[in-house]
Amino acid sequence: MKILDAYSDVIWEQRRYEIAKSAMQGMIANSHELDYRMAEHYPNHGYRKRYPSEVAMLAVAHADALIAELKKKGE
């Protein structure tokens, strides 16, 4: 039995939402690390304006990466 068979009834869009939500919660909970990373990319505190959307994009990117890895394992 392939691993993907175990995931055959998974609704990936729902999983993507759940994973992104968890990733976002983790990033916000560790705000000092997140501030450091954001400040690296946006010097002079320019990241403050982009903070919510950047965190959301990072969370979705993490979710997509995890789902891709799970699907790859099922091949």
pLDDT tens-digit map of 19-47: 999 999 998 888 777 777 777 766 666 55
What pLDDT is recorded for position 65?
A: 95
Question: How does pLDDT run across 50-67, given as a tens digit for each residue?
Answer: 678 888 888 999 999 999
pLDDT band, very low/low/confident/very high, at 1 (cuts 50, 70, 90): very low
Q: Both tokens of residue 18?
A: 């759940």
- Neighbouring CB atoms inside 10 A of 38's CB total 20
Whether the per-residue pLDDT at 11 is higher than 60: the answer is yes
- Angle at which helices 12-29 and 47-73 pack, to 10 degrees? 130
CA 17 – CA 22 distance, rounded (Å): 9
Query: What is the predicted pLDDT for the residue at 32?
Result: 77
Closest CA to 30 of 61, 55, 57, 62: 55
